[in-house]
Structure 1
Amino acid sequence: MTNSLKVLLIEDDMIETMKLNRTVSKLQLKHSITEAKNGEEALQVLEQKDRLPDIILLDLNMPKINGIEFLSILKNNDTLRYIPTIVLTTSSNHKDLLECYKIGVAGYVIKPLKYEDYVEKIDKVLSYWSVNELIKV
């Protein structure tokens, strides 16, 4: 049985946000998506302890607090550290990949250029996490 996920998308590019929402709709998934434009805004969303997400999709290249800085803050918080965080980025930089796994990311997905490939990757990521037993923090 698959669960409906509460997803926090942290993405500063409005086109990428629209693409994810379009993909979820196209796949007819029942997940709820909360959006934050940067790490600072995401931290404000995460202050609402009664509405914490099941998973976080995190872009790396953002203003104010970049993805790696956000990930460090998240993983140093005793409550929030257990929320699976999947990096969704255009960066294929091996240094970024290593740093994210070192901090404790649950996955690192490179956004493909072709929309069909993007849909396929998002479907797999969300399907995987919707069958996992997730900790409710």
Structure 2
Amino acid sequence: MTTNASPATTRARTSALALVGDVVVVLAFAGTGREFHSEGNPILGVLLTAWPFLEGLLVAWALPPIRRRPLRVWPGGVAVWLGTYVIGMILRGATGAGLAVPFLIVAATVLGVAFLGWRAVAWLIRRAVRRA
């Protein structure tokens, strides 16, 4: 596949798609949790659960390593994971939302697997395409 896109355009497109992927991870995490616990209004409930983690995600995305190489598992993916998780939990705690130990463990695990996992799959696909 040949494109005439400049490197800057390609980088911007990759970053935008990576950010969308990360937002999807957070929304899926919040939606799955809400569904698992059979809690009320699905759309509002997901947004209420997701907002602290979306804030954390945006703060993490402000870091230069993430913007420069958003598909890298290290350091970008790890920074996205930890920033989203830590800031999300701080905001949850500050607003009186639950911070039960099982939730802390499940959230760290699920977000880590999802953020790092999709990046690892993207890396494998890019590698396979480059070899083909």
**Shared fold, TM over 0.5:** no
Higher Rg of the two aligned structures: 2
Which structure dedicates a bigger proportion of its chain to strand?
Answer: 1
With normalisation by structure 1, the TM-score equals 0.23
